[in-house]
Amino acid sequence: MFNIGIGNNKIDYDMDIKGINTLRGLALDMIHDANSGHPGICLGAAPIIYTLFKRHMNIDIDNLDYVNRDRFIFSAGHGVPLLYGVDYLLGLLTIDDLKNLRKIDSKTPGHPEVGVSPLVDASTGPLGQGVANAVGLSLASMYLETKTNNLINYYTYVLCGDGELEEGITYEALSLAGTLKLKRLIVLYDSNNVTLDNNLKVSSHEDIKKRFESINFNVIECERDPRSIDEAIEMAKTSNLPSVIIVKTIIGEYSKNAGSNLVHGKPLDDEDILNVKEKLDLHEAPFTVARDVIEDFKEYVIERCREVTNSFNEKYEKMEDKTLIDKLINKDITYNLTDFNIDYQDKSLRDLSGEILNEVASNFPLLIGGSADLSSSCKTNLVNEKVFGEDSFDGRNIYFGIREHAMAGIMNGMALAGLRPFGSTFLTFSDYMRGSIRMSAMMNLGVIYIFTHDSITVGEDGPTHEPIEQLASLELIPNLKVYRPFDFNELVASYIDILKNNNPSCLVLPRDNKQISEYTKTSKVKDGMYLVLDTDSSDYINLIANGEELGLAIEVSKSLKELGIDSKVYSALCMKNIHPGLKQKIQNEKTIAITLGSPNYYYELTSNVIGMETFGKSGSKTEVLEYFGYTIKDITDKVLEIINK
Amino acid sequence: MFNIGIGNNKIDYDMDIKGINTLRGLALDMIHDANSGHPGICLGAAPIIYTLFKRHMNIDIDNLDYVNRDRFIFSAGHGVPLLYGVDYLLGLLTIDDLKNLRKIDSKTPGHPEVGVSPLVDASTGPLGQGVANAVGLSLASMYLETKTNNLINYYTYVLCGDGELEEGITYEALSLAGTLKLKRLIVLYDSNNVTLDNNLKVSSHEDIKKRFESINFNVIECERDPRSIDEAIEMAKTSNLPSVIIVKTIIGEYSKNAGSNLVHGKPLDDEDILNVKEKLDLHEAPFTVARDVIEDFKEYVIERCREVTNSFNEKYEKMEDKTLIDKLINKDITYNLTDFNIDYQDKSLRDLSGEILNEVASNFPLLIGGSADLSSSCKTNLVNEKVFGEDSFDGRNIYFGIREHAMAGIMNGMALAGLRPFGSTFLTFSDYMRGSIRMSAMMNLGVIYIFTHDSITVGEDGPTHEPIEQLASLELIPNLKVYRPFDFNELVASYIDILKNNNPSCLVLPRDNKQISEYTKTSKVKDGMYLVLDTDSSDYINLIANGEELGLAIEVSKSLKELGIDSKVYSALCMKNIHPGLKQKIQNEKTIAITLGSPNYYYELTSNVIGMETFGKSGSKTEVLEYFGYTIKDITDKVLEIINK
């Protein structure tokens, strides 16, 4: 037998049932008032949420940011009214908050939003993302344990449903968790055999137990009963592997449509609400909660957690070196990149990026990352650091595998834990990660994406490997800064800007550009766009480019000069940093942009863009550039054509 | 024992070994000449490719488009030199073609490109895509079997490596294949335990056999020997489930770096090439192939396939109704949408879309599709058709599960088989599918993407469910047409344009817009942008919008009129259809665009765009629109501000 709760004598089963039904009733009331929401999961998964928070989640309700708190990710985020109910029982939200479910500017939005509601550890909603976040949070806890003398050792719980296990990102992330033996990850699988559209069997015929065993998980099955769930979580905590707890539930339990997809996504009608509440023994007016339920729940949680936080505080006080832990507490993920000693002659930009990354890593323990199996191409290996894994949780090189989407979702989780993660792949494969990159931006997480092989200059591997629309497409994501430096000066400046800020960023680098310019300036890069090559003439055109094309633009400018045409050349290496005034100036002047990617990237600045309207071709870099007209002569001709039109 | 080849007496094992080594030698020569490529897989997987094509692939080398040919997808596309070697043995490519590997405009690009090289059934390269394509091809064969009196019944083979099984899309697609029991799908798993960066164990600790069993696959293990592979394929063909054949291979076998990631992605040095060739008993000059190898291979394949194609031709001649099969043979996937009888009053655009889709389906058997678990929201259920599945392969409603990426990759496969597939989800989740949408565009496949819930008007579900950048981001993909109609007239016109063409397209629809305008015109939609509201005045501004915002633009125009400002209103419902002349005209006039999405969508036409620069909010539709200033008054004010600046 396993120890249940603080002590078996304290368990009051009837009170637990009453509490669970209270969460169910509150959720129905919230969804009814909002006239929008998902009653099915709220009725079905209430025992899981209640038991987890009452008996297991280590939190500090007086300090919700408590750095070693257990994390809970509501990956099936549409069930969030249950969590708002827990917030209410703990005095963290009011009844008015609950009544404002899904209303504008409330503390109770339709899906969990980190920073908006108490006890929300990640914004979730797009299915599968939360599972990857949870893997990242648990990975971070294993790493931080090694760096904080075992002070950080929280559990990460994640609730997911049937549909989420169909998502590829979930599979990718959990397979990595099993490989790395992230033993403090506990997946609570709300198994009700129904998805929005139909019964699960129409779209999935999986042996879930076997599937999890095949990816190295500890598999536990339990009933939809607080004692069974409690016992299962206790068992999971003793495992050396990550655990999944398969809880057999009934979607919309007690509703007339219980067990059917009809109860998934629409509020119950009034009659059905009464019917459910009758079965749940809830006879009061809507939003009325019995005082004993609140008292029992809150006191139990506070008492259970007090010992844990006290113990943490004692250990913290005794720590000699508090540098790292204080950074975590203060949520400081910035780094001031100043001194470094790198010989930058005759090296490709991605090689130089690797050298800078290594320099930074040696002084900045929050920096940890890896690649989706392209570290040797993206040059993101930390040469003095170990591989992160079961034998070395202090390793800082993560082999994510060829799992781009999960890599990004896991990095989001690592960033939520206070780390500064980086991940790398080829730019064209950023397409696989967009679901998670968007979440980096929405949660404003300091994730660093390093994308190399950034244009048709990839050459031989052909159109599937040659990005066209990816640069413009990443630039579209709100709150995501995209840097595309030309040479070492601009690369350093990009790293400085990225590391001193805490927002998500993409560093976009070519396969093999080794150019260095006397014109580029490290100090100007923070302005996003700056003048690289000036002219004395008052009659001039502007040429704009970034990355590898800047070299071409400079050559074209010289070629135009020979034809008697003066031009200024601007480097536009970070569009989101550009001052509106400068944008306006450029818009009002005769400006031509040159890009190896989609022309749309520059349309905000000018409608005169020389860019790619088709996919690329397989061939050597030189062949491909010639084929698409990216020679000095061809571009000069195109510029003349635009000027004369 | 299983029957091997045509008859056991015909098997010449020594000749097979010689043939396999010939493919290896040719691949090394090609990669050496290209000075670029992937020798590891070519040395390791040669026995698989050789055995498959010699003994199993039913093809017609005089008619490569033979409609019932077996399909082979080289999902680990970097191994394509092996296939080019097969092409050479069959007389489909010349030695000069092989020498042009990875050179511009050759028939031998770096990754397989459909339409460029013989025997390539899908363009592959981004890992995992080919596996999903194969699932789509085998799904299509099951469907077409029911529609062609069993005439179509080809097998689909797909070769994938360790890395690909890490990709989420692979897992998603194969799980669906297992659910649907696609028995004519045979996965050839080149299991060498190495990925680009490292040994597989660093990133994956999966029990692959168990994993495939858990998703309802028939699992076969075999040796890297032509007899063993042959026998395994024979076994797979007898299964009622899809099969995976786990072939234990050695990456870069015979190289000094055999079994290591060092041999994955760089040409072998000259000494190592000599060393390998010595071991393979290849002593001739590069690109020299023994005549008996060619004769044996080609004659065997021709003889083996003749009977099959003859039998097909006999059955074809006897068919009474050749309409469908002739459409497949002629690759005609278009449909002329003319007559239909739909009452469009007071229905949401997505409901109307569903009605049109049903109308089309009733007359167009090539149309088959479904949803990533949102058919009830996207209204893509074909009400008179069955669910596609093991009991009804004539079903035309596919429950893809919550597997957006695989849905798109599977649709690509279905389109490659000659079907006209549609798939649906919310617009925001198009992010999950970009890897495959790009491949729809690159291969020019007539896939129809139906994306609903297309803006912040989604409301209550909040920012994760509210697309901002997705419309602009899809528009960036070359060769992909994106339609965003305002009302029934424009919706019909969009369907007409989509169905009469054969390129990929996205239909983007709101959650609940029911507006109908007297100004919209079905006939003008093919122009991409057209004048909806004109003015007599010669002093005017242009307002541009599409989708739900067009209604707002019309109201704002009226409001401006009251203030003495004349305006023309344009509907820009398909950007890629707009005539350059019209673009130019709009660019030269005072133009303001209004969008609920990213302003970048319109920057090509004007730098004056009223759009969303941030993510959305959770709240009712009305609350959200007010919050972000999308009222007639606020937009009118913003327009005035732009005019007066």
One DSSP character per residue, B601-636 reads: GGTTT-S-EE---S----S-HHHHHHHTT-SHHHHH
ipTM above 0.90, yes or no: yes
Q: Mean pLDDT throughout B500-521?
A: 93
Q: What is the mean pLDDT of chain B?
A: 95
Local confidence band at A530 (pLDDT 50, 70, 90 cut-offs): very high
**Sheet of strand B218-222, all strands in order from the earlier edge strand to the far edge:** B71-74, B156-161, B185-191, B243-248, B218-222
| One domain for residues A622 and A497 | no
Q: What does the alpha-carbon distance between residue B107 and residue B104 come to, in Å, rounded to a whole number?
A: 9
Q: Which of residues 172-191 of B touch A (CB under 8 A)?
A: 172, 175-176, 178-179
pLDDT for residue A74 is more than 50: yes
What tokens were used for A358? 């290594």
Q: Mean pLDDT throughout B543-562?
A: 97
Cβ separation of A472 and B600 shorter than 8 Å?
A: yes
| One domain for residues A462 and A414 | yes
Which chain B residues touch A459 with a CB distance below 8 Å?
36
| One domain for residues B479 and B552 | no
Look at residues A310, A339, A368 and tell me which one is the last residue of a structural domain: A310
Local confidence band at A10 (pLDDT 50, 70, 90 cut-offs): low
**pLDDT of B99-144, one tens digit each?**
999 999 999 999 999 999 999 999 999 999 999 999 999 999 999 9
Cβ separation of B34 and A403 shorter than 8 Å?
A: no
Q: Which is it for strands B566-572 and B529-533: parallel, antiparallel or unpaired?
A: antiparallel
Looking at residue B5, what is its pLDDT?
A: 39
Query: How far does the CA of residue A435 sit from the closest CA of chain B (Å)?
Result: 5
Q: Mean pLDDT throughout B518-536?
A: 91
Local confidence band at A448 (pLDDT 50, 70, 90 cut-offs): very high
Cβ separation of B478 and A401 shorter than 8 Å?
A: no
Tell me the CA distances in angstroms from B500 to B349, B495, B530, one per residue in order. Answer: 21, 8, 20
pLDDT for residue A256 is more than 60: yes
**pLDDT of B608-632, one tens digit each?**
999 999 999 999 999 999 999 999 9
Query: How far does the CA of residue A610 sit from the closest CA of chain B (Å)?
Result: 13
Q: Is residue A515 part of a domain?
A: no
Looking at residue A196, what is its pLDDT?
A: 86
Look at residues B310, B335, B361 and tell me which one is the last residue of a structural domain: B310
Q: What does the alpha-carbon distance between residue B526 and residue B539 come to, in Å, rounded to a whole number?
A: 28
| One domain for residues B68 and B216 | yes
Q: Which chain A residue has its CA at the smallest distance from B108's CA?
A: A618
Looking at residue A526, what is its pLDDT?
A: 82
Looking at residue B61, what is its pLDDT?
A: 96
| One domain for residues B445 and B528 | no
Q: A630: domain range? A: 525-644
Chain B contact probe: residue of A461, A503, A613 with most B CBs at under 10 A: A461
Size of interface A-B (CB pairs under 8 A): 352
Q: Which of A113, A166, A429 sits opposite B462 (nearest CB)?
A: A113
| One domain for residues B459 and B582 | no
Q: Does A104 touch chain B (CB under 8 A)?
A: yes
| One domain for residues A147 and A270 | yes
Q: Which chain A residue has its CA at the smallest distance from B404's CA?
A: A167
End-to-end CA distance of chain B: 84
Q: Does A125 touch chain B (CB under 8 A)?
A: yes
Q: What does the alpha-carbon distance between residue B573 and residue B497 come to, in Å, rounded to a whole number?
A: 12
Q: What is the CATH number of the domain that holds B569?
A: 3.40.50.920
Strand (E) or helix (H) holding B95: helix B95-99
Q: Does A109 touch chain B (CB under 8 A)?
A: yes
Q: Does B460 touch chain A (CB under 8 A)?
A: yes
What tokens were used for B488? 């029934």
Catalytic residue among B164, B167, B355, B404: B404
Q: Which of A103, A123, A587 sits opposite B464 (nearest CB)?
A: A123
Q: Give this prediction's pTM.
A: 0.97
Q: What is the mean pLDDT of chain A?
A: 95
**pLDDT of A306-323, one tens digit each?**
999 999 999 999 999 999
Instruction: Please answer whether residues B33 and B99 qualify as being in contact, where contact means their C-beta atoms are separated by less than 8 angstroms.
Output: yes
**pLDDT of B39-65, one tens digit each?**
999 999 999 999 999 999 999 999 999
Q: Is residue B339 part of a domain?
A: no
Share of chain A above pLDDT 90, in %: 93
Q: Mean pLDDT throughout B142-168?
A: 96
In the annotation, is B404 catalytic? yes
Q: Is residue A315 part of a domain?
A: no
Q: Does B622 touch chain A (CB under 8 A)?
A: no
| One domain for residues A534 and A490 | no
Cβ separation of A198 and B399 shorter than 8 Å?
A: yes
Cβ separation of A168 and B102 shorter than 8 Å?
A: no
Q: Mean pLDDT throughout A181-206?
A: 93
Q: Which chain A residue has its CA at the smallest distance from B426's CA?
A: A126
Share of chain B above pLDDT 90, in %: 93
Q: Which of A170, A399, A462 sits opposite B198 (nearest CB)?
A: A399
- Domain count for chain B: 3
Q: Is residue A374 part of a domain?
A: yes
Tell me the CA distances in angstroms from A382 to A359, A395, A499, one per residue in order. Answer: 9, 10, 17
| One domain for residues B371 and B238 | no
Looking at residue A596, what is its pLDDT?
A: 98
Q: Which is it for strands B218-222 and B243-248: parallel, antiparallel or unpaired?
A: parallel
Cβ separation of A103 and B468 shorter than 8 Å?
A: no
From the list A523, A563, A555, the residue with the least C-alpha distance to A635 is A555
Tell me the CA distances in angstroms from B415 to B139, B141, B151, B557, B616, one per residue in order. Answer: 11, 11, 18, 43, 35
Query: How far does the CA of residue B468 sit from the closest CA of chain A (Å)?
Result: 8
Q: Mean pLDDT throughout B29-39?
A: 97
| One domain for residues B34 and B182 | yes
Share of chain A above pLDDT 70, in %: 98
Q: Is residue B342 part of a domain?
A: no
What tokens were used for B98? 């092989």
Query: What is the amino acid identity at position B30?
Result: M
Query: What is the amino acid identity at position B353?
Result: S
| One domain for residues B489 and B532 | no
Query: How far does the CA of residue B179 sit from the closest CA of chain A (Å)?
Result: 5
What tokens were used for A135? 């893997």
**pLDDT of A317-349, one tens digit each?**
999 999 999 999 999 999 999 878 899 999 999
**Sheet of strand B609-610, all strands in order from the earlier edge strand to the far edge:** B529-533, B566-572, B540-545, B591-594, B609-610
Query: How far does the CA of residue B50 sit from the closest CA of chain A (Å)?
Result: 24
Residues in chain A: 645
Q: What does the alpha-carbon distance between residue B71 and residue B58 come to, in Å, rounded to a whole number?
A: 8
Q: Does B31 touch chain A (CB under 8 A)?
A: no
Query: How far does the CA of residue B375 sit from the closest CA of chain A (Å)?
Result: 7
Local confidence band at B7 (pLDDT 50, 70, 90 cut-offs): very low
Looking at residue B10, what is its pLDDT?
A: 53
Looking at residue B198, what is its pLDDT?
A: 86
Cβ separation of A405 and B168 shorter than 8 Å?
A: yes
Cβ separation of B169 and A168 shorter than 8 Å?
A: yes
| One domain for residues B528 and B586 | yes
Q: What does the alpha-carbon distance between residue B34 and residue B17 come to, in Å, rounded to a whole number?
A: 26
Q: Which of A111, A374, A441 sits opposite B462 (nearest CB)?
A: A111
Local confidence band at A268 (pLDDT 50, 70, 90 cut-offs): very high
Query: How far does the CA of residue B116 sit from the closest CA of chain A (Å)?
Result: 11
DSSP string, B570-587: EEE--GGG--HHHHHHHH
Q: What does the alpha-carbon distance between residue B591 and residue B608 come to, in Å, rounded to a whole number?
A: 7
Which chain A residues touch B124 with a CB distance below 8 Å?
464
Local confidence band at A406 (pLDDT 50, 70, 90 cut-offs): very high
Q: Which of residues 546-565 of B touch A (CB under 8 A)?
A: none
pLDDT for residue B1 is more than 50: no
**pLDDT of A224-239, one tens digit each?**
999 999 999 999 999 9
Q: Does A512 touch chain B (CB under 8 A)?
A: no
Q: Is residue B95 part of a domain?
A: yes
B425 contact partners, CB below 8 Å, separation of at least 6? B371, B372, B374, B378, B404, B407, B432, B433, B451
Q: Does A213 touch chain B (CB under 8 A)?
A: yes
Strand (E) or helix (H) holding B72: strand B71-74
Q: What is the CATH number of the domain that holds A78?
A: 3.40.50.970
Query: What is the amino acid identity at position A602?
Result: Y
Query: What is the amino acid identity at position A613?
Result: E
Cβ separation of A208 and B214 shorter than 8 Å?
A: yes
Q: Is residue B315 part of a domain?
A: no
Local confidence band at A522 (pLDDT 50, 70, 90 cut-offs): confident
Local confidence band at A5 (pLDDT 50, 70, 90 cut-offs): very low
Q: Which of B178, B373, B387 sits opposite A163 (nearest CB)?
A: B373
Looking at residue A11, what is its pLDDT?
A: 66
DSSP state at residue A422:
E
Cβ separation of A103 and B77 shorter than 8 Å?
A: no
Q: Does A332 touch chain B (CB under 8 A)?
A: no
Q: What does the alpha-carbon distance between residue A642 and residue A410 come to, in Å, rounded to a whole number?
A: 46
Looking at residue A4, what is its pLDDT?
A: 39
Cβ separation of B604 and A607 shorter than 8 Å?
A: yes
Q: Which chain A residue has its CA at the smallest distance from B401's CA?
A: A203
Instruction: Please answer whether residues B469 and A434 qualify as being in contact, where contact means their C-beta atoms are separated by less than 8 angstroms.
Output: no
Query: How far does the CA of residue A260 sit from the closest CA of chain B (Å)?
Result: 14
Catalytic residue among A253, A404, A475, A548: A404
Q: Which of residues 191-210 of B touch A (CB under 8 A)?
A: 195-198, 201-208, 210
**pLDDT of B281-324, one tens digit each?**
999 999 999 999 999 999 999 999 999 999 999 999 999 999 99
Look at residues B508, B539, B571 and tell me which one is the last residue of a structural domain: B508
Which chain B residues touch A615 with a CB distance below 8 Å?
441-442, 478-479
**pLDDT of B441-480, one tens digit each?**
999 999 999 999 999 999 999 999 999 999 999 999 999 9
Share of chain B above pLDDT 70, in %: 98
Q: Does A97 touch chain B (CB under 8 A)?
A: no
Q: Does A214 touch chain B (CB under 8 A)?
A: yes
Q: Which of B113, B476, B613 sits opposite A473 (nearest CB)?
A: B476
Which chain A residues touch B623 with a CB distance below 8 Å?
103-104
Question: Which regions of A271-419 does DSSP assign to beta strands (E)?
Answer: 367-371, 397-399
Q: Is residue B2 part of a domain?
A: no
Query: What is the amino acid identity at position B330?
Result: N
